[in-house]
Amino acid sequence: MRRSTLLPTAALAVGALVLPAAPAAAVDRVPTQRLRDAVTVNGILGHARVLQRTADAEGGTRASGTPGYEASARYVERTLLAAGYDVRLQEFTFPFFQELTPTSLAQTAPEAVDYDTLAFTYSGNGRVEAVAQAVDFTATLPSTSGCETSDFAGFPDGAVAVLQRGTCTFAVKAANAEAAGAVAAVIVNAGVEDPEEVLNGTLGEPGTGIPVVGLSAAAGAQLVAAATAGEVRLAVNVETLLEDRTTWNVLADAPDGDRSRTVVVGAHLDSVLEGPGINDNGSGVATVLEIAEQVAQLGGRNRQHLRFAFWGAEESGLLGSTHYVQSLSDTELQSIYANLNFDMLGSPNFVPFVYDGDLSDTAEESSPAPPGSAQIEDVFTGYLSSRGGSEPTAFSGRSDYGPFIAAGIPAGGLFSGAEGVKTEEQAELYGGQAGQAYDACYHQACDTIANVSTRSLAVLGDAAAHAVLTLARTRTGFYEDLSRAARSTPAQAPQADDAA
C-alpha cells in the first residue's frame, strides 16, 4: 500500500458532494465452497515463502526497479504459465526514487532538538539551514495550510516553510512553498489517532526542487509553539536518487469467459525499498496466485472472463495500475466488468476491512463510487458475516483500485489494516491488541513472512476466493434488469454455507 497523499479527511471537498448509493441489488448466489476449500493458508504461504527468498537474495527488497522485483515478476509469470494462463509482461518506465542517506531534520537554535522525520517520495535534494516559518496553522481540522498562494503572504524569502497536513495534496503545498521562496518544506501530520506518527507521504511525481519532509503532530506542535515564541532555525538534509527505470505489470488471462465482461483481479507486486514487503503486499500476491491456480485446477464454466493482474510501482503512486487503465482502448475499457483489489491480507493485528462501495459509512473520506461498487461490497460483507463480521474502510482510491474507479469501473476489495491503530471495540470483535497498529512492521524491514497472520489469511483468503468466483459466475450482474426481474424470482444474496 502506497504512502498517503492526502489527509484522511481531505476528501471532504469531494465527499461532501457524494451521496451514499442506493441500496444494492443483490448479486445472485454462486456456489463457492469447492474453491474456498481448495484455497488454503498453506498454499498462500508457499508463494509467500518464495517472495521472501527472492527478497533475501536481492538485497532485502522487492521494490519496482530493483532485481528483487524482476525476480518476483518472473516467479509470478512462471507460476501462472504452468497453471495454463495466457501471461504477458506489460512494460513501462517510471521515476525511481531512493533515499541514499538517512533524511534528517534538526532544530539548531535557540536550542538543539533532533526530530524523527521521513523524506517525501519525489522530494528535492539539498542540505539547508534557515529560519522556520509556520504557514496558516489552525486548531480546527481539516487545515488548508499551504493550499493557497495567499497563505504565503509576507513569507520570508529563504525560510523553511512549516505546513500542516490537510485539504489539498502535498504536492500543492510543496509547490506553493517553493514558489514563495522556501528553501525546504516540513509538513506536520494531522487528523490521525497517534500524535507520534511521523507523516510518510509522496508528492506523486518528480518536479519539486526543495527538500520536503514529514513530522509527527506532537513534534509539529512543539516546533510551531517555539517558532511562535521566537526565532527557530532548522537544518534539513535530504539526499536521494531519481532516475527513470523499467518495470512491469504481470497480466494473466484465463482461457474461458466472455472477454466483453472481464473481471480484473489485482494485487500490487512491489514492496517498498525498506523491506521485503511480505504482508504489504506479498500477502495479496500470494493469495491471488493461490486463487488463480485453484480456479484453473478445479475447472468449471466462468461466464465472465478472469484476468489476474500483478501491479508494478504501486508504492511509487499506483503507477502500474494507472498505466494499465490508461493503455486500454475504448473497446477494452468498455469490456472491464469489475476490479477486485487485494492489498494487505495478512496483518498480524488484523481487522477484516471491506472497501465501502456504497459510501454508507465513509462518504466524507471516500472518492465517488461507480455503480456496481455497492454490490461488490455486499458480496464480501455477505460472506464475512458468517466468519465473525467485517468493518468498512474508506473507498479512498489509496490502492490500485483507484485508477479503475476514476475511469468509472466498479471495484471493491479487502484490507487487513496498515499503520492505523486497533480500537478496543475491534479487539473485542476480532481479537488482537487494542491500542496497537494493525501492522507494526508496515513499510519496514521487519515486514517478513514472520509478520503475517495465518488467521487473517484464512478468513480473508476465503472471502477473496468467494468474491472472485461469484463475480466470474454471476448470472444477474450488478444492476437491476426490470424486464428480467418481472420474469424471474428475486436474486438471493451470496452466503457462505452454499453447497459445493
Residues labelled catalytic: 314
CA-CA-CA-CA dihedral for 70, 72, 74, 77, to nearest 10: -130
Q: What angle do CA 407, 413, 414 make, to 5 degrees?
A: 150
Do 179 and 149 form a contact (C-beta atoms < 8 A)?
yes
Q: Which three cell numbers stand for residue 86?
A: 495466457
The answer for 310, left when phi > 0, alpha when psi is -120 to 50, beta otherwise, is beta
Q: Which three cell numbers stand for residue 63?
A: 521494490
Query: Which strand (E) or helix (H) includes residue 108?
Result: strand 104-109
Block residue for cell numbers 494493525: 438
Nearest to 343 by CA among 270, 283, 404: 283
Distance from C-alpha of 43 to C-alpha of 407, rounded to nearest angstrom: 34
Q: Which of 377, 406, 376 is nearest to 477 (CA)?
A: 376
- Grid coordinates representing 147? 493550499
DSSP state of 26: P
Calpha distance 386→497 (Å, rounded)? 8
Residue 295: what are its φ and ψ, rounded to 5°?
Answer: -60, -45
Dihedrals phi, psi of 306, to nearest 5 degrees: -105, 130
H/E stretch holding 305 reads: strand 304-311
CB 108 within 8 A of CB 235: yes
**Helices within 203-352 (DSSP H only):** 217-229, 284-298, 319-327, 330-335
| Helix (H) / strand (E) containing 73 | helix 67-82
